[in-house]
């Protein structure tokens, strides 16, 4: 039943050798690996305005321009830095790997933890923003935004569990459509303004005068808010193995193109927001306002909204590719449960995918599906991982001193310095708005990962089998083996247990837990009649449970097993073929087994007795 | 963890010998066993008016009086009939027992099924009606009625899981308070009207003239709706063992008092509704309207509302006592899963209680917490069980011919006939409003119960051990036993398995499922180095699962086990003491065991290896 539902939802199980990654050329690599980076432009400008407008009013647009300039500068610095990472990590250079290789375990784990948090936030933020694009176009849906977001995430989860890689070129299309429709909007908007002198009324009122002065702190907060535009840049250097040969060269080209696209769209949108005075509003995104002003409610307006929604959802999808991969690396190294390193039925890292789904849905529900509430948590993690990755590259050059190392060390060193400063800025300006949550979570995650690793090491040590410990040279039929058969009535299932026990030992007793003395008497009578040949031990159980009386018996003198000795408990197990028949039987035996494992040296033998239909 | 939460909610486990039922005298037996019957009066009059008012207008009150008269006649007939049941079933004469004993299995099951449905409806209806009393007094709560009802049911479920019998006298108090406050209302209302000539305006408009004529069908529908007042009469004869000696005499006294109280309250309320022209309204119950007219918004108004709410909730509580008891009888006889016959940690029949909670909550949610929507489903079941119980008694007299049998047969025969006619009336008049659901459900329930019984019989037959089938006279260490050790790495846990396997047989192989050929090679190399001494079988598993390759191997010629032969699979099981550590390990072995049971003759041995902290 369950397996049929699973097959319907995610498809047939795939063979391991069916695992083949599609390789991209530059044309497809750009949209697929950069949808996260390009899409974040859809909300970065709005985030800057949210900080500035309430205080500076009309003046905001001027400072928005400066903040955007700083962000673009940061972008180009990152591109140059990451080109060097691509050169050196042909198998993919995520922050965890780079930091772990060059700086050690703890920095690697810090990068891993901050990236994990950010991937979860990416899904929550991108899907919320995609939903915002939908309800900006269809206001009636505003009330259902949480439901819509959760439904999108669940669909995406199912798609990723199926392993949607096969058709991933499909995911490239929305990115190009978004680029094209936004480009058309930017150009049309600028032409209408300058050539035709079009000067629309702002959709929402804006105070003309500034209430307060521009302060350094305010500007830095605006800058920090806009830095969300830079999330997703890492995806390209993560994805090098997915490029066609020459993969590193192709990756670098894509990185350059990505920077160009972000520059054009971010710059263009900021400029349009300035000339058309878009004002952040919870029910209508800035992009939607600009689109209304430029296109009215024509086809192109809806095209912009739809492609925005799509690219944002695609951006969430990159997190679905990256987080499970990161967790599989961490799981392989023993820092998270090893299950994360196992491929599921469809060869995807299904446990990571499911974790991502649950975590992001929870975030959306807790934050009521409002993008702005999640923003302060966002970006801190990305920039921490940028910093660690760049610092890792920097120390690599210093240590290895390969040809041209000085030049390269300067670039990565600058990258590290600037991203570090950005971390500080983001951390301070957004601290009380939510960034503190991330600052608390990262050390906790690192601590837990170290504990998990320690646990795995401890277990491996305990299980290690040195050559000098040899198997016992036992002859079968050692009578010192204690065998106890759990009996609940004298039937064929019990007989099967008894026959099997005789293989193991001659020292066999049957054990019966009595909750009703009438029943116990009946069994004892039958026992004598049948002349079973082994003793029947009957124990009263005032609390109607089985484990404690059994353990008491094993530890008692009557049983005469010594503390260290192995005791075998044989349990008859009725096997029923129809699933609904299981409802009709007490599954006590399953439960007993799990409880007995907790006691040392009790070996449990389950003897199935199959009921014919 | 889970057990700690459970202990917090429902308390410590109780010993079986702590099971003692409190015995009631007449004074406490009346309120505790009759809260269901007395409380149904709170909505019976309203149900009659709902049928009549839209057609007859002011004329309705006249026909309401006639309908109430018929119902009171029916009540007294039932009281006389049930006095005879009490005389003959000193251990409690529920319909299931009476019908099963005298009419056979199928009538017994029909009674059991219809009673089960009605108990579930009792909870849903009584709690909804109790909630209606609450929101009539505090209209702001109307919007939250479903949440309130579900919360009350969950609280009641927890209370019953705890076993609230200890303090059950507490539950008698609300019944007396209800009787007193309603009696005060009836007397005050009549005195104000007749002595002081008080003639209030109706709270809601009522059409003065009848739209249609009174038809027989309309009158019968009104009568059928009012018959809900008679639900709960059976509780007294169910509860005979709970009375102090002379228990049967006490039960009969309580039954008589019950009839008197119902007569007084039902008659009084119907009369007040007539003189004050109460009109059914979804947001304000008829009792609440009368209370407003008689008392204004004084203390007494709220007293009536509060006691009404309380007694209705107490009525639901009687279903919590009766349904689990009925299910335990059915479970003991094998007609429902035997788990229903088992007492839980606190000695209550916890499975029945939980079932009742889930079913009634679902009903309330599906019917949006509206009492009137549930009413047509109600009462059919009660009257079917009345009919079967009375018919059972009737055939008993005919068959046994004990002294005075003719006189007794006439009383029970009349009871059977009248309740049967009532079933027909209720069935026909309410059929399309929902009674058909009950008519469909009862045969389904009976069918399922018969299938369950057949299943239990079949299993008992297959397990039956005749004296001539003797245990095998094996010597231990038969080399024909096939033992397969599942190995995932060469460690101490495996060594423990190997050592144990040697007790059973010399015919041991190790089996390894390879999902990664690198790992497999490593293991083979270690195998040779260590010189294990048993063969290592390696199988590729393209779908990364274990069961199929293992079964294929067992069935293969290489393994050389014949189809009927027993095969033993030994599985190493890591035992970890901290619960959260379980998250860090693949529980594949647990899963494998459950899958292997489905294959004939595979005996599973779990060898625990305990990891030290």
Contact assignment for B481 to A503 by CB distance below 8 Å: yes
**pLDDT at residue number B467:** 78
Give the residue, B506 or B23, on which the prediction is more confident.
Answer: B506
**Phi, psi values for residue A21, rounded to 5°:** -90, 135
∠ CA B243-B249-B255, nearest 5°, is: 80
Helices B26-56/B172-194 angle, 10° precision = 50
User: Is residue A125 within 8 Å of A378, Cβ to Cβ?
Assistant: yes
Residues of chain A contacting residue B545, judged by C-beta atoms under 8 Å apart: 13
Residues of chain A contacting residue B491, judged by C-beta atoms under 8 Å apart: 463-465
Chain B within 8 Å of A539 (Cβ-Cβ)?
no
**pLDDT at residue number B446:** 95
CA A458 to chain centre: 27
What average pLDDT score do residues B118-123 get?
90
**pLDDT at residue number B2:** 65
| Confidence category of residue A167, pLDDT binned at 50, 70, 90 | very low
User: Is residue A200 within 8 Å of A276, Cβ to Cβ?
Assistant: yes
Q: Which DSSP string do the residues of B444-497 spell out, in sequence order? A: HHHHHHHHHHHHHHHHHHHH---TTS----PPS--TT-EEEEE-SSSSHHHHHH
| Confidence category of residue A448, pLDDT binned at 50, 70, 90 | very high
User: Is residue B278 within 8 Å of B289, Cβ to Cβ?
Assistant: yes
Owner of token pair 């995650």: A445
Owner of token pair 């400008």: A45
Torsion of CA B454, B458, B461, B463, to 10 degrees: -130
The two three-digit tokens of residue A538, written as one number = 């009957």
User: Is residue A532 within 8 Å of B505, Cβ to Cβ?
Assistant: no
Q: What is the pLDDT of residues B427-437, one digit of tens each?
A: 888 888 888 88
Has residue A348 got a pLDDT over 90?
no
What average pLDDT score do residues A82-110 get?
88
Neighbours of B74 (CB within 10 A): 23
Contact assignment for A16 to B515 by CB distance below 8 Å: yes
Q: Which residue from A minimizes the CA distance to B481?
A: A503
CA distance B272 to A298: 67
| Interface A:B, Cβ pairs < 8 A | 191
Chain A within 8 Å of B600 (Cβ-Cβ)?
yes
CA A403 to chain centre: 39
Contact assignment for B543 to A574 by CB distance below 8 Å: no
Has residue B471 got a pLDDT over 80?
no
Helix (H, G, I), strand (E, B) or coil at B219: helix
What average pLDDT score do residues B117-132 get?
89
A481: nearest Cα among B485, B495, B504: B504
| Confidence category of residue B598, pLDDT binned at 50, 70, 90 | low
Contact assignment for B573 to A456 by CB distance below 8 Å: no
| Confidence category of residue B95, pLDDT binned at 50, 70, 90 | confident
**pLDDT at residue number B512:** 92
| Confidence category of residue B474, pLDDT binned at 50, 70, 90 | low
**Range 477-506 of B in CB contact (< 8 A) with A:** 477-478, 481, 489-495, 498-500, 502-506
Sheet of B508-514, strand order: A536-540, A508-514, A482-486, A567-575, A602-610, B602-610, B567-575, B482-486, B508-514, B536-540
Helices B26-56/B105-137 angle, 10° precision = 80
Torsion of CA A199, A202, A208, A210, to 10 degrees: -120
Owner of token pair 């260490």: B477
The two three-digit tokens of residue B145, written as one number = 């009625």
Has residue B219 got a pLDDT over 50?
yes
**Range 7-26 of B in CB contact (< 8 A) with A:** 13-17
What average pLDDT score do residues B482-492 get?
88
Cα separation values, B463 from A521, A572, B35, Å: 20, 11, 46
What average pLDDT score do residues B13-21 get?
66
Global pTM value: 0.70
CA distance B85 to A513: 38
Contact assignment for A609 to B506 by CB distance below 8 Å: no
**Range 427-486 of A in CB contact (< 8 A) with B:** 452, 455-456, 458-459, 462-465, 467, 469, 471-472, 474-478, 481
CA distance A46 to A100: 36
Has residue B347 got a pLDDT over 70?
no
Chain B within 8 Å of A573 (Cβ-Cβ)?
yes
Q: What is the pLDDT of residues A404-425, one digit of tens each?
A: 888 889 989 998 998 999 899 8
Residues of chain B contacting residue A465, judged by C-beta atoms under 8 Å apart: 490-492, 494-495, 530
Has residue B327 got a pLDDT over 50?
yes
A270: nearest Cα among A106, A48, A98, A441: A48
From the list A458, A467, A566, the residue facing B530 with the nearest CB is: A467
Helix H, strand E, coil C: the string for A201-245 is: CCCCCCCCCCCCCCCHHHHHHHHHHHHHHHCCCHHHHHCHHHECC
Has residue A476 got a pLDDT over 60?
no
Contact assignment for B458 to A611 by CB distance below 8 Å: yes
Q: Which residue from B minimizes the CA distance to A579?
A: B598
What average pLDDT score do residues A436-451 get?
92
| Structure letter (DSSP) for residue B540 | E
| Confidence category of residue A130, pLDDT binned at 50, 70, 90 | confident
Cα separation values, B158 from B152, B154, B174, B207, B356, Å: 10, 6, 20, 47, 12
**pLDDT at residue number B468:** 81
**pLDDT at residue number B475:** 58
Neighbours of B534 (CB within 10 A): 18
Q: Which residues of B364-383 are buried (b: 16+ CB within 10 A; e: fewer)?
A: beebebebbbbbbbbbbbbb
Give the residue, B545 or A268, on which the prediction is more confident.
Answer: A268
Contact assignment for A504 to B505 by CB distance below 8 Å: no
Pairing of strands A536-540, B482-486: unpaired
∠ CA B61-B67-B70, nearest 5°, is: 150
**pLDDT at residue number B88:** 86
Residues of chain B contacting residue A503, judged by C-beta atoms under 8 Å apart: 474, 476-478, 481, 504-505
Give the residue, B397 or A20, on which the prediction is more confident.
Answer: B397
User: Is residue A202 within 8 Å of A276, Cβ to Cβ?
Assistant: yes
pLDDT cut 90: percent of chain B above it: 17
H-helix segments, B57-104: 60-88, 95-103
**pLDDT at residue number A163:** 67
Chain A within 8 Å of B3 (Cβ-Cβ)?
no
The two three-digit tokens of residue A531, written as one number = 């002349």
The two three-digit tokens of residue B397, written as one number = 């007299």
A444: nearest Cα among A94, A99, A110: A110
Distance from CA of B212 to the nearest CA of A (A): 45
Chain A within 8 Å of B507 (Cβ-Cβ)?
no
Contact assignment for A455 to B584 by CB distance below 8 Å: yes
What average pLDDT score do residues B59-69 get?
87
Q: Which residue from A minimizes the CA distance to B580?
A: A452
What average pLDDT score do residues A192-215 get?
78
Contact assignment for A469 to B492 by CB distance below 8 Å: yes
| Confidence category of residue A105, pLDDT binned at 50, 70, 90 | very high
| Structure letter (DSSP) for residue B84 | H
User: Is residue A35 within 8 Å of A368, Cβ to Cβ?
Assistant: no
Chain B within 8 Å of A610 (Cβ-Cβ)?
yes
- Measured in Å, how far apart are chain B's first and last C-alpha atoms? 19
Is the peptide bond preceding residue B246 cis, with omega within 30 degrees of 0?
yes
Contact assignment for B611 to A339 by CB distance below 8 Å: no
Q: Which residue from B minimizes the CA distance to A591?
A: B590
For CA atoms A168, A170, A174, A180, the dihedral sign is positive
**Range 328-387 of B in CB contact (< 8 A) with A:** 337-339, 342-343
Residues in chain A: 613
Distance from CA of A159 to the nearest CA of B (A): 20
How buried is residue A300: exposed, middle or buried, by Cβ count under 10 Å (0-12/13-18/19+)?
A: middle
Owner of token pair 């040195």: A466
Q: What is the pLDDT of residues B519-549, one digit of tens each?
A: 899 999 989 988 888 999 998 887 777 788 8
Of A589-598, B337-346, B351-360, B525-534, the poorest mean pLDDT is in A589-598
**pLDDT at residue number A166:** 47
For CA atoms A88, A94, A97, A99, the dihedral sign is positive
Residues of chain B contacting residue A3, judged by C-beta atoms under 8 Å apart: none
Residues of chain B contacting residue A463, judged by C-beta atoms under 8 Å apart: 489, 491-493, 609
CA distance B480 to B508: 10
CA distance A331 to B454: 50
| Confidence category of residue B1, pLDDT binned at 50, 70, 90 | low
CA distance B129 to A557: 61
| Confidence category of residue A470, pLDDT binned at 50, 70, 90 | confident
For CA atoms B192, B193, B195, B198, the dihedral sign is positive
Question: Which residues, 6 or more positions from B184, have their beta carbon under 8 angstroms from its beta carbon?
Answer: B300
Residues of chain B contacting residue A515, judged by C-beta atoms under 8 Å apart: 16
- Measured in Å, how far apart are chain A's first and last C-alpha atoms? 19
CA distance A33 to A168: 11
Residues of chain B contacting residue A343, judged by C-beta atoms under 8 Å apart: 544
């Amino acid at each position: 039943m369950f397996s049929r539902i699973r097959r319907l939802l995610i498809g047939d199980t795939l063979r391991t050798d069916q695992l083949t990654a599609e390789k991209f050329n530059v044309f497809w690599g750009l949209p697929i690996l950069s949808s996260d980076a390009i899409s974040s432009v859809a909300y970065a400008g709005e985030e800057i305005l949210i900080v500035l407008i309430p205080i500076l009013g009309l003046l905001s647009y001027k400072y928005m321009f400066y903040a955007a300039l700083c962000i673009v500068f940061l972008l180009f610095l990152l591109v140059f830095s990451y080109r060097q990472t691509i050169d050196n990590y042909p198998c993919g250079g995520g922050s965890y790997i780079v930091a772990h290789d060059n700086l050690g375990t703890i920095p690697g784990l810090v990068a891993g933890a901050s990236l994990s948090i950010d991937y979860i936030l990416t899904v929550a933020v991108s899907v919320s923003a995609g939903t915002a694009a939908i309800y900006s176009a269809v206001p009636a849906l505003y009330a259902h935004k949480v439901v819509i977001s959760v439904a999108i995430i669940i669909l995406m989860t199912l798609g990723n569990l199926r392993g949607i890689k096969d058709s991933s070129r499909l995911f490239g299309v929305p990115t190009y459509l978004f680029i094209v429709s936004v480009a058309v909007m930017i150009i049309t908007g600028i032409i209408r303004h300058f050539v035709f002198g079009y000067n629309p009324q702002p959709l929402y009122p804006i105070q003309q005068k500034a209430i307060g002065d521009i302060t350094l702190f305010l500007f830095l907060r605006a800058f920090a808010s806009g830095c969300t535009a830079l999330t997703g840049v890492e995806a390209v250097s993560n994805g090098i193995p997915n490029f066609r040969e020459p993969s590193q060269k192709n990756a670098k080209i894509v990185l350059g193109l990505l920077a160009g696209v972000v520059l054009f769209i971010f710059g263009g949108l900021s400029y349009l927001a300035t000339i058309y005075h878009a004002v952040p509003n919870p029910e209508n995104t800035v992009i939607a306002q600009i689109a209304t002003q430029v296109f009215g409610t024509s086809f192109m307006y809806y095209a912009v909204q739809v492609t925005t929604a799509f690219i944002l959802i695609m951006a969430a999808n990159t997190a679905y590719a990256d987080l499970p991969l990161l967790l599989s690396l961490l799981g392989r190294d023993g820092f998270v449960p090893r299950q994360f390193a196992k491929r599921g039925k469809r060869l995807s890292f299904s446990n990571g995918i499911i974790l991502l789904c649950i975590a992001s849905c929870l975030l959306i529900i807790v934050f009521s599906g409002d993008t702005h509430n999640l923003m302060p948590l966002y970006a801190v993690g990305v920039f921490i991982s940028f910093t660690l990755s760049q610092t890792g590259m920097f120390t690599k050059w210093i240590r290895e001193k390969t040809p041209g190392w000085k030049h390269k060390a300067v670039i990565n060193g600058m990258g590290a310095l600037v991203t570090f400063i950005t971390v500080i800025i983001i951390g301070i300006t957004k601290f009380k708005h939510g960034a503190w949550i991330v600052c608390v979570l990262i050390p906790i995650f690192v601590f837990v990962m170290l504990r998990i690793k320690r646990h795995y090491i401890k277990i491996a040590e305990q299980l290690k089998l040195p050559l000098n410990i040899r198997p016992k040279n036992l002859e079968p039929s050692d009578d010192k083996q204690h065998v106890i058969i759990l009996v609940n009535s004298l039937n064929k299932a019990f007989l099967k247990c008894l026959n099997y026990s005789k293989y193991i030992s001659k020292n066999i007793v049957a054990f019966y837990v009595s909750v009703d003395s009438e029943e116990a008497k009946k069994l004892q009578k039958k026992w004598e009649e049948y002349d079973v040949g082994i003793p029947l031990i009957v124990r009263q159980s005032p609390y109607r449970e089985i484990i404690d009386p059994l353990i008491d018996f094993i530890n008692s003198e009557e049983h005469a097993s010594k503390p260290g000795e192995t005791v075998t408990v044989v349990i008859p197990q009725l096997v029923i073929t129809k699933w609904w028949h299981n409802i009709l039987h007490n599954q006590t035996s399953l439960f007993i087994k799990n409880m007995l494992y907790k006691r040392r040296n009790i070996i449990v033998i389950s003897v199935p007795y199959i009921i014919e239909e």
